[in-house]
Structure 1
């Protein structure tokens, strides 16, 4: 869906700023959002290291592919607990909650078979990686209340971050003191014991600016054994040496405790959805995280060239009793440099972006027998896993016509994976593997007019196996090959006074797709390389205002919809033929009709609809049933002062399966199903000063 700065549930139409697609000023390289905004940037009134929402929207639309900026007002008008709340309205993203703050997320079928953790998407917080160095990422450390906007780059459109996975990249961007409110306080309550409080502050003092936010929440959970509590703190401190030089320091702290209810049979998921898996409760399965992330980002501008540099370090301790008791520490570090030059070649506008990234890390893992009640038993495994990743990339945008640009790029990735087995009584599972991968891209971007673009591209992506693929089995990492794909894409995006749209069609030919197949109901999956597969899809988002000024001058009804067609199949596989890939519905739709009053009041119903069943296994013998959820929200949102909301979800209390841990062959009695949440209600109150 296209989001303007008028975002969903925004304040007043008169306060909205519509951001047109890409207009580049070659003279000083700043997007022409407005003369006032450009002057603010140059005067230092806005951050040089962090674009505001308007700047980010203009900048991202230089990319000839499916990309999006999601502003915070698109999701903060509700409880905003998981990534589904934040990104569920973006076409091509399939996000479903599991329990607590955890959610499964897939873009264009990335990590399609994963039902714990996520892979196939590079996630960033202010441009700093959230993924561990081996590529695995979970969502527990993402605090939806902390961010100003979210950038979504699907597939190889994420080259600006050096990301080249099938799913692309997601960058969560926090405010700075230069665009933050002096004070924000917020309280949310809801069904199943849900309570959250959040507060933030930011400001500017001469060349110095600061922003800090903290939140705490707890919940009993819809299901048994799914209670949890989280405390999170994020902040940044910026110093502007001049209008052309700024540095910013970041800190992110998390303390997370979460019990795991586990997957259950299909009958249990549909008829007793609040019941946890008995084995999960017997050994008290949990995922508890304490993490600290420190980073610095510096931006320097030299005429038409901008240079960005960054370094980061992450320490994460995970206390994780599951089928065995995992106790491990992750220590990651790295840095990046990126240079962007806007100039002219023989009178034609040209933008060149070159960069390099280093992301290294070590996982120190001890694994124990998990006794009844979640008590550590005897040592069962012990490993040191080291990852090294060095990538370099270049992308050039050459405007050979005033409104048509050719975009060409390439990325090189050198990755090393090395495991040292310290527990040898069951044999030595040490191993290492080196990967060297090139990923080219070429595309065209046509600005049909100032607010309408057409784009197309061909790109290659590559994905290295994560260590958890072998944490629980006896084979070495070298048994798995990298997943590679060639993706073809064409689309259009734009806005008119009474219509906004965002359409993309893509086809990806994939080799060695990494599948995570469930083999036991209580143990993690086993990762294998599939043969050839194909991911094809259509992503469509629309916004359509209608019935304007029906009850009062300036009010309107708006119809919004986000639709994804997911046609994912094996390609003449020796075992599965041309079967459909399991784990995601072929059709998925979210739509709403919302009434907006110029004073900030909004109200309306929305639906989430999976209109056909999909498969839970590769042999296509077991299905996940179709469903439709009816939701309703109303609220009052103001730029300053008091705002509030009421929201009801799954009002018909529909029993459904939210997601599934896939298998090679499954049946309905297999414990691979995660029930969706039943009827729930939430309310929130916020004050901005």
Structure 2
């Protein structure tokens, strides 16, 4: 672990970089003149975002945001939202362990590693303005997309759901009366065969518009089941996805618009293959050469994820200053997932699981735009039910008997919140933002845990470990305050304080038999964040340079840990049990730099850097000897200290009017801790190289793209399980990112 004084090593770096950037502003202020008309015809393009719930130039928004347009995503060969990880500093986005479409998302060291029902994500995913409560099915493929926005740090005073670590906004296309049609076919290695189509048209008049999109995404597996398993030869880590979306929009007048959207995703992909990192304890089988191959005894085809939703959005411009928005939505999800932890042809640590969730949300929002005062305020309601069940099947080899448990439960959540954020413009340069959010979450949990002798969980249990229902209410007021200084049209400084909040809950794996207090809820956690940032354009709009330094105080962090328990109230702790406690306090500081340089009219160079120093200051837990755990020995998981991305985008015009587009980037990630304690599953630093080449015809109606990801075929872990003493064979299993893949696509567009 790091020495204690390492807490300060990035402070000096942050101060030095920020000092240089602030010094540069003095020269910029002296040379400030009106260059806007000239800049519109050259330099970097502007992608408008809605990070503050109004359409703005991101360079004018005092928020740490990375945004990617449809064309940028297409040029870079990005195929799902997890792929944007490379372009966002201090971010981790990947598929969770044994599944293909469950999202593990971390920003600045804050996220969710356990996809079990009963937990809330630290990073919120939004499809348009609709919050997606569960990580299952959240690895969204790029379809019908306008842009992706990634907001780093706590969100709540502007957003429907309070998210403690940040937000990923998946923003789809708005309809116009124009008739459009796009079709894309793609092939690649591992038998990839994708087909997408989409478009829009009017229905009788320009007021009624219909948009549609559809995708069929298929690819063979990166591995297969091998050995003497009855499932030998079945694919692992393949892709079999159907997705569709319909958008019906009615433009009642220039001021009033109704939009109804329905979407559905069916993912029948097989399980991901997990590679054992150690020789098995009893079978003495060594790790396989292909890390995507397994010897598992569970059926990899018994995996399915279905998500769907409907949303009605009403936008009403009341007058020149006031606007109203209503977003009514419901979403459903169903998941079946069999995860073979030990990856062997024995029932040593097998976990068949299912999840079932539904949510209803309603948001009312008012926005005001005056000469000096502007702002957004609203009310948000969330009613969700997250349910599930999983078995843990252990040690079939132990005397031929085995041992199993079944865990099932439901968490009902009702959340009410009022929020608001305003901005006051003192003069042409100085402004101040202020806001807050009050949230009240009411939760009820139903938990049942049964224990069985043997591997048959349909017989009567020999022990009821837990069977309870309990409820609790969690509330919080999260403030925001900030100041913004627009030194010139091209240079802005900002500073601010935000608080993030995540409500408490109940341990869905509780064991009342060993721990009578297991039905006690864990409490909420909060993050206090301070930021100091700069956004700038230089060299006649050819260089964009943004930087932000931040400090976070992460309090009452919810952690699954061992604790001492006094079973008979005699003042002596008799046993250890696993609980979810508000066991941790983490302090973090970091620096993020994002820059794009238009070296010529056709060549853009880009780079981002992320530095993050985070460590536990407090940790309430005990090791198996009964000694308190030193917080310095606990890792901040899924959080590399350094991330970087370097690349270019080059357009080569042809005399015919056609042009080539060449894109390449290299993304570096420092060492990553995957478990709270050091383990063989942890991943050393690595670099991934991606590239794409496109040819666009003179009319722009055809686009042919050859893209490649992980071109050096780097082998790297994104997750894993470390339970070496659980079961007979032991489990030390890693789940790996995709090997080298390439895709050739042809896209036809009619406008």
Q: Tell me which interval the TM-score lies in, with the shorter structure as reference length.
A: 0.7 to 0.9
CA distance in 1, matches of 2:422, 2:387: 40
TM-score (norm 2): 0.74
Judging changes above 3 Å, is the alpha-carbon distance between structure 1 residues 517 and 561 closer, same or farther for their aligned structure 2 residues? farther
Pairwise CA distance, 1:87: 4.8
1:436 to 472, 475, 478: 475
CA offset digits 1:329-349 (Å, max 9, x no partner): 3221120001011124xxxx0
Task: Say if 2:65 and 2:150, in contact at 8 Å, map to a contact too.
Answer: yes
CA distance in 2, matches of 1:513, 1:328: 25
CA distance in 1, matches of 2:92, 2:322: 38
Pairwise CA distance, 1:194: 2.1
Give 2:26's aligned residue. none
Task: Say if 1:181 and 1:688, in contact at 8 Å, map to a contact too.
Answer: no
Pairwise CA distance, 1:88: 3.1
Task: Say if 2:466 and 2:511, in contact at 8 Å, map to a contact too.
Answer: no
Give 1:568's aligned residue. 614
CA offset digits 1:326-367 (Å, max 9, x no partner): 3443221120001011124xxxx0012111111111234455
Give 2:363's aligned residue. 336
Give 2:445's aligned residue. 419
Give 2:267's aligned residue. 256
Task: Say if 1:258 and 1:288, in contact at 8 Å, map to a contact too.
Answer: yes
Judging changes above 3 Å, is the alpha-carbon distance between structure 1 residues 112 and 298 closer, same or farther for their aligned structure 2 residues? closer
Judging changes above 3 Å, is the alpha-carbon distance between structure 1 residues 149 and 605 closer, same or farther for their aligned structure 2 residues? closer
1:481 aligned onto 2:539: no
SS at match of 2:714: coil
- The structure with the largest alpha-carbon Rg is 2
Task: Say if 1:197 and 1:216, in contact at 8 Å, map to a contact too.
Answer: yes
Pairwise CA distance, 1:411: 0.5
Task: Say if 1:198 and 1:213, in contact at 8 Å, map to a contact too.
Answer: yes
CA distance in 2, matches of 1:422, 1:116: 14
2:324 to 298, 307, 313: 307
CA offset digits 1:551-582 (Å, max 9, x no partner): xxx5x332211221121211154623335523
Judging changes above 3 Å, is the alpha-carbon distance between structure 1 residues 593 and 381 closer, same or farther for their aligned structure 2 residues? closer
1:608 aligned onto 2:619: no
CA distance in 2, matches of 1:378, 1:61: 56
CA distance in 1, matches of 2:322, 2:386: 38
The 10-residue stretch of structure 1 (437-446 or 60-69) with the greater mean CA deviation from structure 2 = 60-69
CA offset digits 1:97-139 (Å, max 9, x no partner): 56645553211112264488982012111201222xxxx3234
Pairwise CA distance, 1:62: 5.5
1:631 aligned onto 2:690: yes
SS at match of 1:259: coil
Judging changes above 3 Å, is the alpha-carbon distance between structure 1 residues 584 and 232 closer, same or farther for their aligned structure 2 residues? same
The 10-residue stretch of structure 1 (60-69 or 160-169) with the greater mean CA deviation from structure 2 = 60-69
1:246 aligned onto 2:257: yes
Task: Say if 1:112 and 1:584, in contact at 8 Å, map to a contact too.
Answer: no
CA offset digits 1:195-234 (Å, max 9, x no partner): 2110001134321222111101112232332223111111
1:354 aligned onto 2:398: no
Judging changes above 3 Å, is the alpha-carbon distance between structure 1 residues 290 and 473 closer, same or farther for their aligned structure 2 residues? farther
TM-score (norm 1): 0.81
Give 1:395's aligned residue. 421
Task: Say if 1:184 and 1:201, in contact at 8 Å, map to a contact too.
Answer: yes
Pairwise CA distance, 1:266: 4.1
CA distance in 1, matches of 2:521, 2:374: 41
CA offset digits 1:377-426 (Å, max 9, x no partner): 99934433211111111111111122221101110111111123477844
Matches within 5 A, 1:43-58: 58=56
Task: Say if 2:494 and 2:533, in contact at 8 Å, map to a contact too.
Answer: yes
The 10-residue stretch of structure 1 (79-88 or 211-220) with the greater mean CA deviation from structure 2 = 79-88
Matches within 5 A, 1:119-518: 119-131=121-133, 136-140=134-138, 142-157=140-155, 159-178=157-176, 182-204=180-202, 205-224=205-224, 225-261=236-272, 263-266=274-277, 272-279=289-296, 281-284=297-300, 286-303=302-319, 304-322=321-339, 323-344=350-371, 349-367=372-390, 380-421=406-447, 425-465=464-504, 470=508, 478-496=520-538, 497-515=541-559
Task: Say if 2:243 and 2:263, in contact at 8 Å, map to a contact too.
Answer: yes
The 10-residue stretch of structure 1 (203-212 or 242-251) with the greater mean CA deviation from structure 2 = 203-212
Give 1:687's aligned residue. 748
CA offset digits 1:61-96 (Å, max 9, x no partner): 564221243211111235533222245312232224
1:643 aligned onto 2:678: no
SS at match of 2:83: helix
SS at match of 2:62: coil
Give 2:71's aligned residue. 73
Unaligned 5+ segments in structure 2 are: 1-39, 225-235, 280-285, 340-349, 396-402, 451-463, 563-577, 620-627
1:19 aligned onto 2:46: yes
SS at match of 2:237: coil
Q: CA RMSD in A?
A: 3.7
Unaligned 5+ segments in structure 1 are: 1-12, 21-32, 34-50, 519-524, 549-553
CA distance in 1, matches of 2:53, 2:435: 23
1:588 aligned onto 2:590: no
CA offset digits 1:130-171 (Å, max 9, x no partner): 22xxxx323446231221112322223453213432322222
CA offset digits 1:288-331 (Å, max 9, x no partner): 12232111010111221111012111232223334443344322
CA distance in 2, matches of 1:480, 1:262: 34
Judging changes above 3 Å, is the alpha-carbon distance between structure 1 residues 568 and 665 closer, same or farther for their aligned structure 2 residues? farther
The 10-residue stretch of structure 1 (204-213 or 424-433) with the greater mean CA deviation from structure 2 = 424-433
